[in-house]
């Protein structure tokens, strides 16, 4: 029996070779089924590897076989719980199929104003995407796409790199996409605010170049206008970053100039957190004076006393379904692009 040792690092092929008294090449032959070792030695090496807890790197195996068992996931903001929850489900789904997920933080547009530096951000995303391809990933899932990223998607298509767009998308781009109907989600929120008697409603969207942000902002405004109303901030602060700081700064300025505001419809939950901070500083009670809503239903939205009214976006399903679509393409599926709209749900809580 081989004594299992406690290790602070991952067991390597060299560790297995040392215990078995063979070369690392022999270990490789034994574990991959390649010729070069006897059946008896192969079984002994496999037993030792199992007892030591050795797990071969799927990436390394891909380099040797010519087919990578890894996929890339590019996150817009790794500090945003929305994206990390998508990543967690994607990693689990890929693992079920014997794939590793290589995750990169792109960090685009979290605190930019409405006029994004599209050229700079597109160059950054393209550099990260190319780095993944250089590391032999079999395909990419992208959560950080803006309108300016169309040339990158065209390049990936020309070089036959499978791509799935998650949550954000570039309209008209012929690659698979999975997300929700953001316009309808925003309409559900606004209809709720109107039904509760709110009439001076501020709309705080995200980036103008983000499909999801613009669809949500448009959903808010279209629903207001269908009810014979207009946003309380038609020209002030509609487009900006999607962070808590952005929400606070915009709401703080609006509250200082307009005491009639009785609701703020936010493009995501992080913006809503900033608005709640601004309400507190301005002495405006929520929801009695000002109703506040978000979209996404992040993990913090229903924690303790917060209880934010928002829309649940099925992040676990987005990540898992994105992996399934990508692996279909990697396996050779050449059918037309899939546009998969997952269900969302309005969650009425204490803030509106």
Low-confidence stretches of the chain (pLDDT < 50) are: 1-8, 58-59, 63, 65-66, 114-115
The tens digit of pLDDT for each residue in 272-288 reads 999 999 999 999 999 99
The tens digit of pLDDT for each residue in 230-276 reads 999 987 778 998 899 999 999 999 999 999 999 999 999 999 999 99
Alpha-carbon distance of 337 to 340, in angstroms, equals 10
Domains along the chain?
13-56 (1.10.260.40), 68-180+315-342 (3.40.50.2300), 182-312 (3.40.50.2300)
Alpha-carbon distance of 67 to 64, in angstroms, equals 8
pLDDT at residue 7, as a whole number = 37
pLDDT at residue 120, as a whole number = 65
| Burial class of residue 222, CB neighbours in 10 A (0-12, 13-18, 19+) | middle
Within a 10 A sphere around the Cβ of 127, how many other Cβ atoms? 11
pLDDT at residue 145, as a whole number = 86
Tell me the three state secondary structure of residue 30. helix
pLDDT at residue 317, as a whole number = 96
CA torsion 191-193-199-205 (nearest 10°) is -90
The tens digit of pLDDT for each residue in 62-84 reads 545 445 688 999 988 888 888 88
Structure tokens at 297: 């239903």
Q: How many CA atoms within 13 Å lie on the side-chain side of 106?
A: 29
Determine if the pTM surpasses 0.85: no
User: Which residues in the chain belong to E strands, given as ranges?
Assistant: 70-75, 100-105, 140-142, 163-166, 176-180, 201-204, 263-266, 291-293, 310-312, 339-342, 345-347
User: Which residues in 34-130 belong to E strands, given as ranges?
Assistant: 70-75, 100-105
Using the structure block, give the residue that is written with the tokens 């901070």. Answer: 277
- Under 8 Å CB-to-CB from 301, ≥6 apart: which residues? 269, 294, 307, 308, 310, 347, 349
């Amino acid at each position: 029996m081989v004594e299992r040792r406690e290790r602070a690092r991952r067991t390597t092929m060299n560790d297995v070779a040392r215990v078995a008294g063979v070369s690392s090449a022999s270990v490789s032959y034994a574990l991959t089924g390649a010729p070069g070792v006897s059946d008896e030695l192969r079984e002994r090496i496999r037993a030792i590897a199992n007892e030591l807890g050795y797990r071969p790197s799927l990436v390394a195996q891909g380099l040797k076989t010519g087919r990578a068992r890894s996929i890339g996931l590019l996150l817009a903001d790794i500090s945003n719980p929305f994206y990390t929850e998508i990543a967690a489900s994607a990693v689990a789904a890929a693992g079920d199929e014997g794939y590793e997920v290589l995750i990169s933080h792109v960090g685009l547009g979290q605190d930019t104003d409405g006029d994004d530096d599209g050229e700079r951000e597109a160059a950054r995303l393209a550099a990260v995407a190319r780095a993944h391809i250089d590391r032999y990933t079999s395909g990419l899932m992208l959560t950080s796409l803006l309108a300016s990223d169309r040339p990158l998607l065209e390049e990936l298509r020309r070089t036959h790199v499978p791509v799935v767009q998650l949550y954000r998308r570039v309209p008209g781009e012929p690659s698979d996409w999975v997300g929700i109907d953001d316009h309808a989600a925003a309409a559900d929120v606004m209809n709720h605010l109107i039904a509760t008697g709110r009439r001076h409603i501020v709309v705080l969207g995200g980036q103008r170049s983000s499909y999801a942000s613009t669809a949500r902002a448009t959903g808010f405004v279209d629903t207001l206008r269908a009810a014979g109303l207009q946003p309380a901030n038609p020209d002030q602060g509609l487009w900006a970053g999607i962070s808590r700081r952005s929400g606070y700064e915009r709401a703080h300025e609006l509250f200082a100039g307009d005491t009639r505001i009785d609701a703020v419809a936010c493009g995501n939950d992080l913006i809503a957190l900033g608005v709640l901070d601004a309400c507190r500083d301005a002495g405006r009670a929520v929801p009695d004076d000002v109703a506040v809503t978000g979209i996404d239903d992040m993990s913090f939205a229903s924690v303790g006393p917060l209880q934010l009214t928002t829309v649940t976006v099925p992040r676990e399903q987005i990540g898992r379904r994105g992996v399934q679509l990508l692996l279909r393409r990697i396996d050779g599926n050449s059918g037309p692009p899939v546009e998969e709209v997952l269900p969302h749900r309005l969650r009425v809580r204490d803030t509106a």
